[in-house]
Amino acid sequence: MMEIKQLRIFRTVIEVGSFTGAGEHLGMSQPAISQQIRALEEELGVPLLLRTARSLQLTPAGEMLLNGARQVLEKVEETRRRVEEHARGRAGLVRVGTPEPPCNYLLPEVLVELKRRFPRIDVRVVSGHTAATLGRLTAGELDVALLPLPLDAGKLRVVDVGRDELVAVVPPDHAWTTLPFVTARDFDEESLLVYDRASQITDLTLGFLLADGVFPRIAAEVDHVEALKELARRRLGVAVLPAWAARRELEAGVLAPVRLGPTGLARAWGVLHADLRPYPATLRALVQLLAEALPPLFARAA
């Protein structure tokens, strides 16, 4: 069977112009070079070279083999370079899973920085609820997941990447904006805009209210954060969101944040991945960047 080594020898013979020169270039003896070329000709059943006293000439079959050999060897060398870069964390594909809000409001800034540092690392992002994302990670469909904690990670590794805070989001002239914080009882007189019920955001919001016996009047349930903010801006009700998901509106002054409870409604975030040995360098590069970039993003929105 034709081997990569034989193709490389054949190409070198033609480029150097002699068996002796090819042997010197490849660190092989002239008889060994001749043997490899002869083996190629015997396998293919056609002569590849016309040998004269002064030169080597390609036969038509030799021309075809040379063209194919160059294409194959270029692809092999490119593949080797890519694998070596992947091993050094400089190239490769990383598959990331996370819920919709961080997918829209946190990851873009992180991924821009990742591409600036590592232009040859490609990223595929899949949004989904925590349970679905955890399932994809466990099944090997993802390399890394950014998820709110706590959760049952099983044998997955968890890297703590900071804490954020859920806040009530209201128009800037709302009566709550004069208060240092609101309690669950303050929601008795307000309608609530509920984010997707499968989200931890909704779990924590309802937990905050029900712990004090408050059963909220739900004005709308929306599974898209942009729509939720627009409804809050139009005074349909109060939305509860992580502050970073409304940073643009808060900075523009079209919405205002209000703390939930005297200490706030905080939660932790983690980056999860399989406990791989060895630890792929591309994965290590992304996890390190997330651990470095996310805490300032959380703090900036607080």
Query: Secondary structure of 239-265 in the HEC alphabet?
Result: EEEEHHHHHHHHHHCCCEEEEECCCCE
Answer yes or no: is pLDDT of 115 > 80.
yes
What would the mean pLDDT of 9-26 be, rounded to a whole number?
A: 87
Does the predicted TM-score (pTM) go above 0.75? Answer: no
> Among the ranges 85-99, 244-258, 270-284, which has the highest mean pLDDT value?
244-258
CATH number attached to the domain at 91-162+268-301: 3.40.190.10
Rounded-to-integer distance, Cα 18 and Cα 38, Å: 14
From the CA atom positions of the chain, what is the Rg in Å? Answer: 31
**pLDDT in the model for residue 302:** 61
pLDDT band at 25 (very low <50, low <70, confident <90, very high): confident
What would the mean pLDDT of 80-84 be, rounded to a whole number?
A: 67
Task: Choose which CATH entry (3.40.50.300, 3.20.20.300, 3.40.190.10, 1.10.760.10) describes domain 163-266.
Answer: 3.40.190.10
CATH number attached to the domain at 4-87: 1.10.10.10
Residue 172 C-alpha from the chain's centroid = 36
Mean pLDDT value across the chain: 90
Choose between 4 and 259: higher pLDDT. 259
Rounded-to-integer distance, Cα 169 and Cα 42, Å: 79
What would the mean pLDDT of 143-149 be, rounded to a whole number?
A: 95
Lowest model confidence (mean pLDDT) among 67-81, 102-116, 197-211: 67-81
91-162+268-301 against 163-266: fold identical: yes
% of residues, the chain, pLDDT over 90: 58
Rounded-to-integer distance, Cα 190 and Cα 174, Å: 11
* Cross-strand partners of 165: 266
Task: For 249, list phi and psi in degrees, rounded to 5.
Answer: -70, -35
Answer yes or no: is pLDDT of 87 > 60.
no
Residue 212 vs residues 147, 179, 219: alpha-carbon distances, Å = 27, 19, 20
* Helix (H), strand (E) at residue 126: strand 120-127
Cβ–Cβ under 8 Å, residues 244 and 297 = yes
Cβ–Cβ under 8 Å, residues 169 and 241 = yes
**pLDDT in the model for residue 88:** 55
Domain boundaries, the chain: 4-87, 91-162+268-301, 163-266
Beta strand pairing call for 256-259 and 157-170? antiparallel
Residue 166 vs residues 23, 177, 183: alpha-carbon distances, Å = 70, 15, 13
